[in-house]
Amino acid sequence: MSYIYQKNLERFFNSQRRKTSEADHLAIIRRIDLDGDSKINKEEFLETIKPQEPYSKMLVRQRLTKKVARIPLKHIDDNEKSRKKVQAKSASRLAKLKQIEDHIKVF
């Protein structure tokens, strides 16, 4: 099993032409190291790069919008037609109830 040590971080930042101190490397390792062995293993690294709460909601939202975008327009039109049918039925039922009420008031 391979690990990320302080020296690996130093080499990485040097290759990226970033000026970092030994304290910076130790701070990174302390933040990521879950078991306190002063090195980062694969599980700790993966846990660190996994999206956290604010970002995971954003990813879910993106996935949902992609799914909505994939719905064919035919289905949207069908839903609109069925919604209008339901509204028409409701209106006719209300009209019939109104007639019944009016008829009852007459007696």
Q: Which residues contact 28 (CB under 8 A, 6 or more apart)?
A: 9
Q: Are 40 and 33 a contacting pair, CB within 8 Å?
A: yes
User: Taking the model in full, what pTM does it have?
Assistant: 0.47
Reduced to 3 states (helix: H, G, I; strand: E, B; else coil), residue 41 is coil
Neighbours of 32 (CB within 10 A): 17
1-55 residue pLDDT tens: 689 999 999 999 999 999 999 999 999 999 888 888 999 999 888 888 886 666 6
Q: Is the CATH code 1.20.120.160 the one for domain 1-53?
A: no
User: Where do the structural domains in the chain lie, given as residue ranges?
Assistant: 1-53, 64-107
Q: Are 46 and 4 a contacting pair, CB within 8 Å?
A: no
